[in-house]
Every structure is written in C-alpha cells, then in structure tokens.
Amino acid sequence: MVVEVEAENGQTGFAVSTAGEMGCFIVEKHLNRFIEGKCVSDIKLIHDQMLNATLYYSGSGGLVMNTISCVDLALWDLFGKVVGLPVYKLLGGAVRDEIQFYATGARPDLAKEMGFIGGKMPMHWGPHDGDAGIRKDAAMVADMREKCGEDFWLMLDCWMSQDVNYATKLAHACAPYNLKWIEECLPPQQYEGYRELKRNAPVGMMVTSGEHHGTLQSFRTLSETGIDIMQPDVGWCGGLTTLVEIAAIAKSRGQLVVPHGSSVYSHHAVITFTNTPFSEFLMTSPDCSTMRPQFDPILLNEPVPVNGRIHKSVLDKPGFGVELNRDCNLKRPYSH
C-alpha cells in the first residue's frame, strides 16, 4: 500500500506499508477527514485523532495500525520536503555518524562476507517436532557457527511459533554456540510467557520481541516483561510518531530498541536513538547472495548498506530521501 499526501504548494510526501487494498479503503473513507486542511506540521494531532477514531475497530494492531503507520510516515516525508530537511533532523539530529547492520536471512555466512556485524536465521522446526526439532535447530546453529567463526553474531528468529517450554529448551541447546539472542518465540500477547522465558534463558543470551506488537500500550507491557530488545516495525506499530514513544519507554528501562527492517523509514529514526546501537537489514534476494533494497522496485534511490553500514550523509535529503517509482503498476481503488 502507498499513501501519498499533497500540500497546497503541490509538494508531495508518501510512504509504503503492507495494508493493501483494505488499507486504502480506510484512508479514503475514514482517515482522510483528519488530514485534509491541516498544517503539514500537525503530525502528532493527526496521529492522535486517527488512533482515537479507530479504537473501536483497530483492536491490538494489525491492518488498521498498518494503515495509520503508512499515513504517519507519509506526513513525516511531506513535512521534511516542505522544510527542506531529512526526517532524522526533524527528530533532533543524529547521535552517531553511521548505522551498522546485522542481516536477516538463511545465510549468515554470506552476510559476514558482506561486512554485516551478525546474521539472524529462521528456525525450521517447532514444538510439534519435539526434542528432535530442538536437536535439528541446534545443529543448524552449530554448523553456521563453524562457518562464521566466533567473532560474528548469530541470532535465531522463531516468528511466534513456539511455547515457553520448547523455547527455553531450544535456547539452552543453542547456548554452547554463543547465540546472541532468540527472537519472537511466542505470540505477541503472551506477556507472562516472555517474562518466564527471560527468567529461564541462558545467562548472556538475550530475549527479544515486538515485531508483531501493534500499539504503544502493548509495547509498554512487553517492556515490563524484562526482555532485552524491543523490535517494533515502524510500518506496523503506528508509524514514526509511535516508534519515538516506544524508544522512550525502552530507554527508561535500560532496554534497546532495534526496529524490524523497514529500510529508510527505520534509518531516520534509529540514527537519532541512543538506545539503538545497530539495526536490521532484510536479505530479500532468494539465495541471500546479493543485497536488494527492501522496497524494490516501488522506491527509487533506496540506500543499502555498504560493508554493513550506512553513513548519515546518505540520509541527507529532504523527507525520507526516496522517490516513488511511478512506472510500477499503481492504482487507486477508492476515492472520496
């Protein structure tokens, strides 16, 4: 889904998220009334109105929050373009000169060759496989550790597929191979489970989650479980406006915030957060052997890491610094 907003002077801002045609309906038939006629700097007011107006059908996130996120990001892009500043400077400026990345994909060994600081791979088995599944996943981690050596981070992405017992056993089975963290083992609302998993995880192994949490309130509760890293997706959690608030919650508890993917929409935020020392790059090429921009071909001039890093100068363009590829087969399914 693409949301585009236009100022009276003809300048436009836009953003991309994953709400699809249903999200377009929500924007055209409901959210538009909170946007049209407002000042381009009224982002927090618009954001608050969108959240309050959708409370009765947004639930704990999902498609509605994806839609609100996309609108919010488009408004930040427009604001930056109107005032001639990159979004990260609107947030107060960079706290570091560059962003360093770990890569998410099935080949951490290739990620190491490309200069990334670590590699996060998917697990292949789950609770229905029992102890045999744990042994197979641990063997996969052991094999990748041998290929990558000791001076490289390895992480395991479990994508909401486990229970506390299985996740705890898996964490201990992988501990000998210096697994840096185990991610999103449980469904989003299992806060007590995350608290128990963190309490019983191997010493030195971090527990992380947050990709599929969709409200500020859910991140506050997640933070209270004591996990080490919260991982909101800026295109799903309520947009940049909410991401800044999540980072503040985490900072108050001494936790890290490392957003899930999201390319430039994350870059402009994380370079301003003191509790985000690194970020995630999603390897979207089928064999993980090449780096493709995450939103290719929809975005033009979308930066990718060089030797695992992006310098802040790459972000020094108005807004989010990317353009919409109008040669893509874009359509407007609804109007108002």
Please give the positions annotated as active site.
260
Structure tokens at 138: 């641990």
Could you tell me where the DSSP H helices lie in the chain?
Answer: 20-29, 43-53, 55-58, 63-83, 87-90, 108-113, 130-148, 164-174, 191-200, 216-224, 240-252, 263-270
- CA distances for 235 relative to 72, 171, 328, angstroms: 9, 29, 20
- Write the CB contacts of 93 (distance below 8 Å, at least 6 apart in sequence): 272
Which pairing describes strands 323-324 and 299-300: parallel, antiparallel, or unpaired?
antiparallel
- CA dist 233 and 132 (Å) reads 33
At 307, the amino acid letter reads: N
- CA dist 197 and 167 (Å) reads 7
- CA dist 157 and 280 (Å) reads 12
- CA dist 80 and 296 (Å) reads 22
**What is the 3 state secondary structure string of 140-157?**
HHHHHHHHHCCCCEEEEE
Cis bond upstream, residue 297 (ω within 30): yes
- CA dist 194 and 314 (Å) reads 37
- CA distances for 67 relative to 12, 29, 235, angstroms: 18, 12, 8
Q: Which of 69, 83, 79 is nearest to 15 (CA)?
A: 69
